[in-house]
Amino acid sequence: MPELPEVETIARGLAPELEGRRITGVVVRETRLRAPLAPDFAQRLVGRRLGRMGRTGKYLVTPLDDGHVWLVHLGMTGRLTLGGARRLALVHDHVELALDDRRTLVYHDPRRFGRLDVLAASEVARVVGPGVDALDATLTAGWLFARSRGRRTSAKALLMDQREIAGLGNIYVNELLFRAGVRPRRRAARLSRADCTRLVGAMRAVLDEAIARGGSSISDYRDGFDRAGSFQEEHVVYDRAGLPCRRCATAIRGVVITGRSSFYCPACQR
């Protein structure tokens, strides 16, 4: 599932290619995504000029020249790929945008958990939600410490809660908890100020390194040019149950926490 580094990689790659391009046609082959595609989705995009694509949380956010905003969430298996003009549509190519430079931008999503919307700029915050972006400067150790007080949930569940912090998912939360030396099951309310400092530092470091490596390609993820990322090669705990910790050689443990696979080193994490 694409998380912040994967979505950021797509935005950084596509933004300079798409900025200023006009959408000359839209083909919709499937409207049954996580939220059904609006009946006037194509009509609201055709003829519009694209502004600079950016990212907030796990959403791709592209302003249009009529004041609306094109929003994309890739769900579990969504891909947005920029390609040449003449191509055969593949199964699961649900939406295709034709651009005025004869290239096409294709939304492909086998599991259809993604979401595509054209919204008024004032509606974006409602859809994206209240969570602070994981790379936002306002997400400090003090903020995390304050948000974790009195919380009965685990540290892992708090970090993955998109209403609190937007952009993190299972891969990067497992990895940053390892770097911060915090076990995923630790009660959020029991995090110390020092823990919060290490968690926020680890969050920035892991996300920055992952973006520099083009994200993690575990199964489906590809960037906007159909290229895989390579940060999965750097994973220390994620999906490594039973394998030796890269720091201390203790076997990594795999457990299920609130329905999600969780991985930690019992020696490096407390």
- Count of residues touching Zn ion (by CB under 5 A): 7
CB of 241 to Zn ion, least distance (A): 13
Among 62, 73, 70, 47, smallest CA distance to 17 is for 62
Does position 237 interact with Zn ion (CB under 5 A)? The reply is: no
Find how far residue 225's CA is from the centre of its chain: 17
Does position 268 interact with Zn ion (CB under 5 A)? The reply is: yes
Q: Which string of x and - marks every residue 193-232 that binds Zn ion (by CB under 5 A)?
A: ----------------------------------------
89's CB contacts (< 8 A; 6+ apart) are 29, 96, 106
**Alpha-carbon dihedral sign for residues 7, 9, 10, 12:** positive
- Which residues are marked as active site? 2-3, 58, 260
14: its two tokens: 């596509």
CB of 203 to Zn ion, least distance (A): 19
CB of 246 to Zn ion, least distance (A): 8
**Alpha-carbon dihedral sign for residues 9, 212, 58, 245:** positive
Stretch that binds Zn ion, among 25-33, 129-137, 192-200, 248-256 (CB under 5 A): 248-256
CB of 185 to Zn ion, least distance (A): 16
Position with the least CB separation from Zn ion: 245
**Measured from the CB atom, is 170 or 269 closer to Zn ion?**
269
Rounded-to-integer distance, Cα 168 and Cα 161, Å: 8
Rounded-to-integer distance, Cα 35 and Cα 127, Å: 11
Q: Determine the straight-line distance between the first and last CA of the chain, rounded to whole angstroms.
A: 27
Does position 121 interact with Zn ion (CB under 5 A)? The reply is: no
214: its two tokens: 């083009």
Q: Which string of x and - marks every residue 21-40 that binds Zn ion (by CB under 5 A)?
A: --------------------
Rounded-to-integer distance, Cα 151 and Cα 110, Å: 36
Among 29, 248, 255, 258, binds Zn ion (CB under 5 A): 248
Does position 236 interact with Zn ion (CB under 5 A)? The reply is: no
Binding site for Zn ion (CB under 5 A): 245, 247-248, 250, 265, 267-268
